[in-house]
Amino acid sequence: MRLSQLLLPCSLFLSLIVPAFAHAHHEHLTEEQTNAPVDAVLWIHIFLQAAVWGILFPTGMVLGMSKSRWHVPLQSAGIVLTLGGYILGHAHRGRAFLAGIHGIAANIILIPIFLQVALGVYLKLHIQEQTIRPWVVRVHGIVGKSYPILGWVQMLFGAIAFRGYCRGGHLGQCLAHYIMGSAFIAYGTILAILLLVGERWIRRSGKSPEWWDSWVIFLWGIVNTFTEHQGGAWSPKDMQHTVLGVLWWAGGLLGILLSRNNQRTVVPSLIIILTGWAMSEHAQALMISTRVHTMFGYTLMLAGVARIVEVSFIVPKYHPLTEGHATPDDNHSEHTLTEGAPSSGSVDYSKAESAFRHLPPFLLVASGVLFISATDEELRFVHDEGMDHVTYILIMYSLAFLIYALVVSRIRLWATSGRNASNSSGDEGSIELTDVPASKWYAPVPSGDGEPSHVIGDDE
């Protein structure tokens, strides 16, 4: 019997014994419980879950997308380890923690884990090929691709629980910093994917990257405009945040109009620059907080400037459009992303251009890390520990380097593993794939013995 077929009953068995290891969550804590030392069991839980959700599961997801034979073993190991980490999280002694969202999410996150196991076992049975299986493939892919997001959110919840942050009047600030900071990191990650392996997808979509950027900025601006002020007197911060919302939807609307017909535009970059400038001038209670916010603003402004340079000067040199593929108002310039070039056409970058294109996404990731780390509670703790802003900012930049290294390495793994291994033709400066024939979102592929073993179009 295959490992994946054995995994479901084993996982269900573990889910039954987990409650036996659980300890009660606390509604009130004494100072002695709060200041108790952290024991080895809890440290193992922290590092184990960070490794599984931050490295192992994203790697397995990527291998699933490339149809690598290592996908199932890696995800199976990750599920077993995360269940072990769940038990350790309830079995530790020493420091006690207030009941919070981290514990609730730890139970909720078991649902997609067991769902993914069940879907994976079903797919290995290769039954109902023409009816149910195609939809199971799609659901399996969606759940699998949610793992990096689930892991990131739960790790943030874990850090909040560990320090006891975001309670009472601090909740609003935590939400603002963690949501917006995570959004910048996601923005940088998606931009890195598009720059490294997404050129052909952009052409097929018929939309320039700035069209998508502008829509997100536009919609987020509408939400921000009407949610920042909660009634009562208007404070300077309320005014700044609300006007930033107006800036985003107004600028996003202009970006949508200018990026029609696959045109490139610098409007999203200008909005990033203005947002960074506003954040760099944001008044703060502590000097260290002012310095960290200033560095966050400068980093965001530099990301916007770098993106303008990338859009204006380091664009891919596509082949001219062929007959019958022109679109209305298309100026056929290098700043237009349209379909119609020969299938063998490759993107022409110099080494310097390929290197520069990493700068905007990395700076977006770095700005996101800085913003997440700039809440009043975090910086009050850093200030009380006697750390200066230079040391703290350098630590955050080091973390940004690690996150971006993980992103780039997973992108490269996708481009060089599984079904992409024989199609990879890039050099060290960039990743390029030769054209793969288009296919339906679902199609069974026969294995060596004639049994359908993989599915094109989604991860299994």
Tens digits of pLDDT across the chain (460 residues): 444 444 444 444 444 444 444 444 555 666 666 667 778 888 898 999 999 999 999 999 999 999 899 999 999 999 999 999 888 888 877 777 777 888 889 899 999 999 999 998 898 888 887 888 889 999 999 999 999 999 999 999 999 988 888 887 788 888 888 998 999 999 999 999 988 888 778 877 778 889 989 999 999 899 888 877 667 788 777 788 889 999 999 999 999 999 888 888 999 999 999 999 998 887 777 889 899 999 999 999 999 999 999 888 876 543 333 444 444 444 444 445 544 444 434 445 556 667 788 999 999 999 999 999 998 899 999 998 999 999 999 999 999 999 999 999 999 999 898 888 876 554 444 454 444 444 444 444 444 444 444 443 344 4
DSSP character for 446?
E
SS3 of residue 38 by DSSP:
strand
Q: Which residues, in sequence order, are CB contacts of 198 under 8 Å at separation 6+?
A: none
DSSP character for 94?
B
CA 449 to chain centroid, in Å, comes to 38
DSSP 373-404: TT-HHHHHHHHHTT--HHHHHHHHHHHHHHHH
Compute, in degrees rounded to 10, the torsion defined by CA atoms 81, 86, 88, 92.
Answer: 160
Question: How high is the pLDDT of residue 25?
Answer: 53
Helices and strands, counts by H and E, the chain: 19, 2
Q: Which residues, in sequence order, are CB contacts of 232 under 8 Å at separation 6+?
A: none
Question: How high is the pLDDT of residue 32?
Answer: 61
Q: Which of 146, 144, 150 is nearest to 459 (CA)?
A: 144
SS3 of residue 449 by DSSP:
coil
Question: How high is the pLDDT of residue 13?
Answer: 40
Question: How high is the pLDDT of residue 138?
Answer: 92
SS3 of residue 68 by DSSP:
coil
The maximal CA–CA distance of the chain, rounded, in angstroms, is 77
CA distances from 354 to 254, 279, 346, 431, 433 (A): 29, 30, 14, 9, 15
Phi, psi (rounded to 5 degrees) for 454: -140, 165
Question: How high is the pLDDT of residue 164?
Answer: 84
Question: How high is the pLDDT of residue 394?
Answer: 96
- Are 196 and 209 within 8 A, CB to CB? no
Question: How high is the pLDDT of residue 90?
Answer: 80
SS3 of residue 286 by DSSP:
coil
Question: How high is the pLDDT of residue 352?
Answer: 64
Half-sphere exposure of 82 (CA within 13 A, CB side): 28
Question: How high is the pLDDT of residue 26?
Answer: 55
- Are 398 and 369 within 8 A, CB to CB? no
Cβ neighbours, 10 Å, residue 250: 15
What's the predicted TM-score (pTM) here? 0.80
Structure tokens at 423: 């199609």
DSSP 227-271: TS--SSSPPHHHHHHHHHHHHHHHHHHHHHHHTGGGB--SHHHHH
Q: Which residues, in sequence order, are CB contacts of 16 under 8 Å at separation 6+?
A: none
